């Protein structure tokens, strides 16, 4: 009798816990744009996505160049006639200059991802400004970049101000397939397809296994997204089509 009563009575804490976990799972796998709107309300100055009626999405790739993997990514993009914005870590440029020239020759765009893979938010204001300018001095031997993505993806209002001081626009993204945490091109491709919306900004990564997985992911993802009528472009092309 006691067991029957227990089974009949709702276990409210467990229901709340399960409901919370489900809600968190939805937010992680299908983050609504309201989250990015709220973030930009309290921490303005960064672009997470653009507003457009056109079926267009920007592709951005961080942490290159890499002598072994960037070429694979460029091969895939060339084959599918897609352009992207590559956020460059400038400590990795020496010896890979031809890769950057190939990017520009194929219509891709270079962005500033600072000098090293060290979280920019941990730098002092002076250190961040010096780091931005050091990276800028290297990149502008190829082209003057317009976009900055702070290393690590976190930023402060002081960092936004410094970026704007040097005519940079700060870009983050709205579609991040957890490619630095989940080593599965299939998962990344399915995640991006599930979250594709006009004006979205994809964030993927190059270098080592990340770069290898990115090439495989894009080879799966691009044809399927194009079947939906989407065009994949770089950030400046996306910004030009925003309302």
- Per residue in 123-178, pLDDT tens? 999 999 999 999 999 999 999 999 999 999 999 999 999 999 999 999 999 999 99
What pTM was estimated for this model as a whole?
Answer: 0.87
| pLDDT per position as a tens digit, 56-112 | 999 999 999 999 999 999 999 999 999 999 999 999 999 999 999 999 999 999 999
Tell me the C-alpha distance between 55 and 225, whole Å.
10
Instruction: Say whether 100 sits in a helix, a strand or coil.
Output: helix
Tokens of 47: 């672009």
Give the chain's domains with CATH numbers: 33-240 (3.20.20.370)
Kindly tell me the sign of the dihedral angle through the C-alpha atoms of 123, 127, 128, 132.
Answer: negative
The helix (run of H) or strand (run of E) holding residue 207 is none
Q: Are strands 46-47 and 56-64 parallel, antiparallel or unpaired?
A: unpaired
In angstroms, the CA 156 to CA 150 distance is 10
Instruction: Look at the block and give the residue holding tokens 């190939």.
Output: 102
Distance (Å, rounded) from C-alpha 71 to C-alpha 96?
Answer: 11
The owner of tokens 């100055």 is: 45
- Measured distance between the N- and C-terminal CA atoms of the chain, rounded to whole angstroms: 65
Q: Which two tokens stand for residue 165?
A: 């001081």
Distance from C-alpha of 231 to C-alpha of 57, rounded to nearest angstrom: 6
């Amino acid at each position: 009798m006691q067991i029957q009563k227990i089974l009949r009575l709702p276990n409210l804490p467990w229901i709340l816990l399960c409901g919370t976990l489900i809600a968190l799972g939805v937010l992680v796998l299908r983050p609504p744009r309201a989250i990015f709107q709220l973030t930009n309300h309290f921490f303005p100055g960064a672009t997470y996505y653009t507003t457009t009626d056109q079926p267009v999405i920007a592709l951005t790739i961080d942490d290159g160049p890499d002598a072994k993997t960037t070429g694979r990514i460029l091969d895939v993009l060339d084959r599918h006639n897609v352009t992207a914005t590559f956020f460059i870590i400038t400590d990795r440029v020496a010896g890979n200059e031809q890769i950057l020239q190939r990017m520009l020759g194929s219509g891709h765009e270079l962005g500033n991802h600072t000098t090293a893979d060290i979280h920019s938010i941990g730098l002092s204001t002076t250190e961040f400004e010096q780091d931005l300018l050091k990276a800028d001095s290297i990149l502008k031997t190829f082209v003057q970049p317009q976009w900055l993505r702070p290393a690590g993806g976190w930023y402060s209002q002081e960092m936004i101000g410094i970026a704007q001081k040097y005519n940079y626009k700060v870009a983050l993204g709205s579609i991040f397939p957890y490619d630095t945490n989940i080593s599965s091109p299939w998962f990344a491709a399915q995640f991006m397809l599930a979250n594709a919306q006009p004006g979205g900004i994809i964030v993927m990564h190059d270098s080592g296994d990340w770069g290898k997985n990115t090439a495989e992911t894009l080879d799966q993802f691009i044809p399927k997204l194009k079947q939906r009528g989407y065009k994949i472009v770089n950030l400046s092309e996306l910004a030009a089509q925003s309302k």
